[in-house]
């Protein structure tokens, strides 16, 4: 399915019509947000590096560290990062491990083990496999990349706590997220989401919209 990476997804209106017809819960959420759409993110390397920087710290702290990284490396690209000393990156607030992760990511891009044209040609599973081969990138980050950078229409990020919370509130009478964040709980969500295919990214985006404040990544 085609999508433009510079504007809203070309499939969006068709996906909305299909989901409205199939799912009255999503239809109500869509009515609250009639003009919303998934907006693509920018440079793939920057997106993934920022995801690594923000791991396991608050949004406020992540933004502060990221700001210092950009001050240290204004031309933030793989080669520029590889030219920076590890001590310089640590001085921005990155842990030793995150410095290793960001440099490993830069090496993957610099050596063209990862490039956007290759990712665009790859299946969702292939993209996840390629990205999670980079140190510090897990499945959740790869799935967010599929949704927000490659605009893939049928991603169901079961590791995303925002999605679990939205499903709990909208479909399961506020069932504790802990019970949904299990193998059995995820199986129930996967079964529910069969009705959304091949537009599970779109359904996920609207479920995120139903939460206030929005979860990280939405």
Tokens 């690209």 correspond to 77
- What's residue 5's pLDDT? 56
Place of tokens 């919209």: 209
Average pLDDT, the chain: 90
Which tens digits make up the pLDDT trace of 89-99? 999 999 999 99
Average pLDDT (125-131) is 94
Buried b (16+ CB within 10 A) or exposed e, 79-109: eebeebeeeebeebbbeeebbbbbbebbbbb
Closest CA to 51 of 72, 69, 75, 73: 69
Instruction: List the alpha helices (DSSP H) in the chain.
Output: 12-22, 24-32, 44-53, 59-72, 78-83, 86-91, 96-110, 116-121, 124-132, 139-148, 161-171, 177-180, 183-193, 200-209
116 pLDDT band, cuts 50/70/90, is: confident
Q: Are 47 and 146 in contact (CB under 8 A)?
A: no
The per-residue pLDDT for 41 is 79
> pLDDT at position 107, please?
94
Domains of the chain: 12-39+155-209 (1.10.1670), 44-148 (1.10.340.30)
Give the pTM: 0.84
Burial class, 46, CB count within 10 angstroms (exposed 0-12 / middle 13-18 / buried 19+): middle
């Amino acid at each position: 399915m085609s999508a433009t990476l510079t504007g809203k997804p070309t499939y969006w209106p068709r996906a909305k019509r299909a989901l409205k017809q199939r799912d009255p819960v999503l239809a109500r959420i869509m009515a609250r947000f009639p003009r919303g759409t998934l907006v693509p993110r920018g440079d793939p390397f920057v997106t993934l590096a920022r995801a690594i920087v923000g791991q396991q710290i608050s949004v406020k702290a992540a933004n502060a560290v990221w700001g210092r990284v950009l001050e240290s490396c204004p031309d933030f690209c793989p080669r520029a990062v590889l030219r920076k000393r590890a001590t310089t990156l640590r001085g921005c607030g990155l842990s030793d491990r995150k410095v290793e992760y960001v440099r490993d990511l830069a090496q993957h891009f610099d050596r063209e083990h990862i490039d956007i044209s290759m990712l665009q040609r790859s299946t969702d599973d292939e993209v996840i496999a390629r990205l999670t081969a980079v140190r510090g990138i897990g499945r959740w980050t790869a799935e967010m990349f599929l949704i927000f950078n490659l605009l893939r229409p049928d991603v169901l990020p079961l590791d995303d706590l925002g999605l679990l919370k939205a499903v709990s509130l909208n479909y399961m009478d506020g069932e504790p997220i802990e019970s949904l964040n299990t193998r059995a709980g995820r199986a129930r969500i996967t079964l529910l989401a069969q009705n959304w295919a091949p537009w599970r990214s779109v359904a996920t985006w609207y479920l995120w919209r139903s939460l206030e404040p929005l979860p990280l990544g939405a």
